[in-house]
Structure 1
Amino acid sequence: MSDARLQAIVRAHPLLSAVLDRFAAVGLPDAWLVAGAVAQGVWNAATGRAPTYGLKDIDIVYFDGADLSAETEAMHEARLRALFADLAVKLDVKNEARVHLWYADAFGNGLEPYRSSEDAIGTFPTTATSIGIRPQGDALGLCAPFGVDDLLAGVVRPNKRQVTQAVYEKKVARWRALWPELTYIPWDQTQPPSTT
C-alpha cells in the first residue's frame, strides 16, 4: 500500500484489522476487502468519530469465473460469516464474476461481465469507495483505480463508469447525514474520473 496514512488507519481499525489478520482463511480467488467499510473507517478517523460509526457492513469480493452459481456464493458468504462471527457487523460476500447475471434486475441497467475483482472495484459508485485492500506480505496490497487522494481528503465524487445518478444521490444523502464534514461533488459538476 503506497500511502502510510491509509495503512495506519486500516491497521488501527478494530474490525478491518481483525478481518485482515484472518484474511488467509478467506480462501477465495482474487479476494479483497472493499468499498464503504474502508472509506468510512478513513472518514471516521479524519472526523474524530468511533471507527465503526455509520458502518452497515463489511464487503469482501472475490472473482471465480469457473463457478457462477448463486448457491456457491451463498455458501462462501455463510462460511465467512461463521469465520468472522465474533465481529459485530454484517458481512457481505460477492463473486464479481457473476454480478452481470443479476445487476439489471437490481439496478435497472445491464453491464458487461467483469474481468477481475480489480475491474469490478473500478466501477464502484464513488472514487473514494473504489478501493480494495488485502494482506500482501508484511504490508497491505491496494487496489485503488482512482488513487487515494479523494478518500484521504474527504471528497465524495461520483464514478460515472457504471453508477446511475439516482444510486449516487441516494448514497450521498445517507452519508451527508452521517459525515456532513465531507465534500460532496454534485453529479452534474464532475466529469468521469480518469484512471491513472
Structure 2
Amino acid sequence: MNQADIEQRLRGDAEVQLMLAAVERIDLPDWWICAGVLRSKVWGIDQNAQSDIDIVYFDPSDSSEATEKRHERQLCKWLDLPWSVKNQARMHLVNELPPYASAQDAISQFPETVTAIGVTRRPDFELYLPYGASDFTHRIIRPTPPFQIGTSRHSIFQRRVIEKGWQDDVSLHIYP
C-alpha cells in the first residue's frame, strides 16, 4: 500500500466523504479530519463506538474552547457522530509544546506516525501523510520525532500503546 492507495481508499469511503462534507460546511480555516478514524479506515478496522472523529483547524483569531464546542454541536446536528474539534492555535498550550505554525504542523507532532494523517477538501480532496505510507502499509506503531526514546514525551507514546491495547494486537508491530 502506498500513498496513492491510501488516498484511493479514503476517497472511496462513503463515511469519510460524509464527514468531509459536514466539516466543509462549517468553513473553518486550515481544517483537517485526522488521526485514529483515518488510521482505522486505512486498515479496514471498524471505528470503536467510543472513538471520536478528530477535526483540527488553525485560527489564531479565536482560540476559545467555547468556539470548538459550538462547532462540535453544529456537526452533531448534521451527522450524529462523536466529533472532537480542536483549534491548533491553542492546543500547543494544552500539549505543553511550542506554538504550532498550522494544522499540518500540529498533525506532524501527533504521538504516532500512523496517527499523523489528515484529509481535507480545500479546495479538493487532499491527503497529508508527514511520515509517508510505509508504517500504514506494514502496520507499524512508532513514535513521531517529538515522542521518540530519549524525549520527555516518550512516556506519553508508551502510555498510549497500552491504553489502546496495541501491544495485544498481533497484526501490529510496535517500535519504541
TM interval, short-chain normalised: 0.7 to 0.9
Q: Call closer, same or farther: CA 1:116–1:66 in 2, change over 3 Å.
A: same
1:64-118 alpha-carbon deviations (Å, 9 max, x no partner) = 0011112222212222222222xxx411000000113333xxxxxx211111101
Find the counterpart in structure 1 of residue 156 from structure 2. Answer: 167
Find the counterpart in structure 2 of residue 76 from structure 1. Answer: 71
Amino acid at match of 1:5: D
Instruction: Give the superposed CA RMSD.
Output: 2.3
* Contact 2:34-2:119 within 8 A present in 1 as well: yes
Shift of 1:53: 4.9
Shift of 1:172: 1.5
Shift of 1:33: 0.5
Shift of 1:38: 0.6
Find the counterpart in structure 2 of residue 130 from structure 1. Answer: 116
Shift of 1:130: 0.8
* Contact 2:23-2:75 within 8 A present in 1 as well: no
> Where in structure 2 are the equivalents of 1:18-167 lying within 5 Å?
18-43=18-43, 45=44, 49=45, 51-53=46-48, 56-85=51-80, 89-103=81-95, 110-135=96-121, 140-162=125-147, 164-167=153-156
**Runs of 4+ more than 4 Å apart:** none
Runs of at least 5 residues in structure 2 that lack an aligned partner in the other structure? none
Alpha-carbon distance between aligned partners in 1 of 2:169 and 2:122, rounded to the nearest angstrom: 31
Alpha-carbon distance between aligned partners in 2 of 1:119 and 1:156, rounded to the nearest angstrom: 20
Shift of 1:54: 7.1
* Contact 2:7-2:127 within 8 A present in 1 as well: no
* Contact 2:71-2:85 within 8 A present in 1 as well: yes
1:15-49 alpha-carbon deviations (Å, 9 max, x no partner) = 32321243421310000000111112222x2xxx5
Choose 65-74 or 52-61, whichever is displaced more: 52-61
1:138-172 alpha-carbon deviations (Å, 9 max, x no partner) = 6x202221112212221111113157222212222
* Contact 2:167-2:174 within 8 A present in 1 as well: no
Amino acid at match of 1:77: E
Identity of aligned residues (%): 33
Find the counterpart in structure 2 of residue 194 from structure 1. Answer: none
Shift of 1:133: 0.6
Find the counterpart in structure 1 of residue 8 from structure 2. Answer: 8
* Partner secondary structure for residue 4 of structure 1: helix
